[in-house]
Structure 1
Amino acid sequence: MEITINGLDTIRSAARQFIENIGSSRVFAFYGKMGAGKTTFVKALCEELGCDDVITSPTFAIVNEYTDGEQQPVYHFDFYRIKKLEEVYDMGYEEYFYSGALCLIEWPELIEDVLPDDTVRVTIEEQADGSRLLTF
């Protein structure tokens, strides 16, 4: 599926469209270059899910936990600073990825070996006109 995000004024509607099409999937890996809009989209996604928490990039914490409108956990990961896969083992990734909670992962390229088989891979690419194309 493809969703076009024409600008920040349409990102929330793009997030709603994404949510309507995720089905029963729980783990989403977001791929894209630095500045493509991964964190911005995840923030919009969490807001549309009803998270009242302040949504920030977990670059230094590696994982942030939010609570959605149904009082369910939403885990937001940023693996940009991971240097060794052992760091992911040490943080107990299995407890998150196999919890049944929604997991939103930025920079999954660094942990491909431990992603669940049913991970949905989402690509965000900046287009020549400045819009973003989200494909999953």
Structure 2
Amino acid sequence: MTLAPYKGIGDPKVHVTKFESMMFLNSDSDPILCRSFSTFLDGAALLRFSSLPAGSISSFDKFARLFINHIVASKIYVQDSDYLGTIKQGQHESLKNYMTCFTIAAIEISYLNPKVQLHAIKSGLRAGKF
């Protein structure tokens, strides 16, 4: 089982659960869990938890709650397909970058109608040739 570093996209509870499942195979020691968890973070999440004072976490459960609460409090929720209409390809943005940003947002929407998704992709493309 592999676990990609958490970059702030997706449900933090799912990330913690996957991490615990993966680590259960290797160790269930609180110190090891706490020290290992940061290796599965990236971006702002990694910077935030790297700045915690030494000794400020007494258990992995506390660490996980802190992580989930912080991410949930700062997360921008994409609630429905209307949000996809706001994603536009920038004047000098590559098609690859546009599709990456669009896909990341679309993954967060439950039960997204493929027709709505396709319409939003087309609407967000800048005019002209690829």
Larger radius of gyration: 2
The structure with the greater share of residues assigned to strand is: 1
The structure with the greater share of residues assigned to helix is: 2
> Looking at both structures, which has the greater relative contact order when contacts are Cα pairs under 8 Å and sequence separation is at least 6?
1
